[in-house]
Amino acid sequence: MDGIILILVLILMGGAIAFIGDRLGSKVGKKKLTLFGLRPKHTSTVVTIVTGILIVTATFGILTAVSQDVRTALFGMEKLKAQMVELQKEAKLSQEASDKAKASLAEKATEFAAVSEQVEKMNQRLAVVRQELQQAVAEKDQAVEALAASQGEVNRLQAQQQDLEEKIQELNRNKEKLEGNLEELQEIAAKLQTGIRVVREGAIVFQAGEVLASRSVDPLESQEQLRQELEAFLREANAQLLQRLNIDKDLGLLVISQREFDITIDEIRKADSPRILRVVAAGNTVYGEPVFGALQLYSNQLAFAKGTTLLQEEMQAIAEDSGANEGAIILFLKQVNALSVRQGVLPDPISGMVGSLPANQLYETAAKMSRLGGRVELSAVTIEDVHTAGPVRIELRVRAIK
């Protein structure tokens, strides 16, 4: 933009100076002025030449005064040439440096690619190492769990060892107790043998399999508590047997082997719910003989809830014939007994029955059937919860069918 303005100024100044020179030349020619004794024609020529010189001088003067570039072009050309040569040398050096930098960059790029490949390999190896580390941590956790389990097993074995030591101590105490009671047992045996000789031909007082006593036991109790409770239970059963036989002496009539006693306690401890313990006669017992008993353990579950209808049957009631109706009711009760046994209620080993019905209820039900006559519906309904140990207590209900 500055160059255009400068050119315009020079054009205007050149035009103005030329116009002034022309005017001066014309005036000099018209007035026939002379300069330095020259003729007017020559004087006009001199004026024109001077005017041209002034134009050039003014042009260069203005350009030199106004533009640094003009001053540089007029007076600093050699310096510019020297600087240009220097700049060309520097440009060449820069180009060489650039070429070296490009070569170095290519080399670095190659090295970077190699390093990148190594980094990728290292990342892959790191992934493998991480996986191996995770596997090692998992194996460590499994080893810790196994160690904990082993420690638990060691603790359990130590506890079992302690229990066995307690059992040994208890057996030693029982041994001392048995040895202390040996004379008394020998005396009892002699008396019983005498009784056997007297009543060998007498009646059998307890049949094989007959239930002598029963009770519920809790497996959550400690071994010592179970031992004490079972010993008390057997002493009570022994007292009941003496009472049944009308023997007023404090004799050890009931005999249970120590091994069977210990095995029963272990089975109770292993159970996961309450159990029913029965003492049954191991064989037929004649009056005067010791009662050899056996221990039997059963689960004690709820067989029937209170209010459960065990059996419901339609039958023909015979009017005015209670005897025939009683026979039908007895057959019905046998079916109820068989159903209860199938449901897990323990029957009496001798009679096979799971319960009994009061005689007055039997007679009243038969009498009601006689009064109704015709088709009736007979139902057996539990009046309390029935468990495995029994007994089954029921109420007989009868109604007419229309």
Note the pLDDT tens digit of each residue in 199-236. Answer: 444 567 777 777 777 888 888 888 888 888 888 888 88
Q: How far apart are CA 180 and CA 172, in angstroms?
A: 12
Q: HSE-up of 163 (CA within 13 Å, CB side)?
A: 14
Q: State the 10-residue block means of pLDDT for the chain, 402 residues long.
A: 63 71 66 63 71 73 69 66 80 83 82 82 83 82 78 78 79 68 56 48 69 80 85 86 78 83 85 81 78 80 84 84 80 87 78 78 85 86 81 86 78
3-state SS class at 133:
helix
3-state SS class at 282:
coil
Is residue 241 within 8 A of residue 230, CB to CB? The reply is: no
Residues in the chain: 402
Is residue 278 within 8 A of residue 213, CB to CB? The reply is: yes
Q: How far is CA 74 from CA 79, 132, 190, in A?
A: 11, 83, 161
Burial string for 362-375 (b: 16+ CB within 10 Å, else e) reads beebbebbbebeee
DSSP code at position 314: E
Give me the residue label for tokens 């020297």: 82
Q: How far is CA 334 from CA 313, 345, 353, in A?
A: 13, 14, 9
pLDDT at 59: 73
Q: How far is CA 200 from CA 208, 233, 280, 285, 288, in A?
A: 17, 30, 22, 10, 9
Q: How far apart are CA 114 and CA 359, in angstroms?
A: 107
Note the pLDDT tens digit of each residue in 315-325. Answer: 888 877 777 88
Q: How far apart are CA 277 and CA 336, in angstroms?
A: 25
Order of strands, sheet of 211-217, starting from the edge strand that comes earlier in the sequence: 211-217, 275-281, 291-299, 254-255
Is residue 67 within 8 A of residue 61, CB to CB? The reply is: no
Is residue 49 within 8 A of residue 38, CB to CB? The reply is: no
pLDDT at 57: 78
Burial string for 276-300 (b: 16+ CB within 10 Å, else e) reads bbbbbbbeebebbbbbebbbbeeeb
pLDDT at 200: 46
pTM of the model: 0.42
**Helix/strand/coil percent split, the chain, to 5:** 65, 15, 20
Please, is 167 exposed, middle or buried when counting C-beta atoms within 10 Å of its C-beta (0-12, 13-18, 19+)?
middle
Q: How far apart are CA 235 and CA 243, in angstroms?
A: 12
Q: How far apart are CA 208 and CA 291, in angstroms?
A: 10
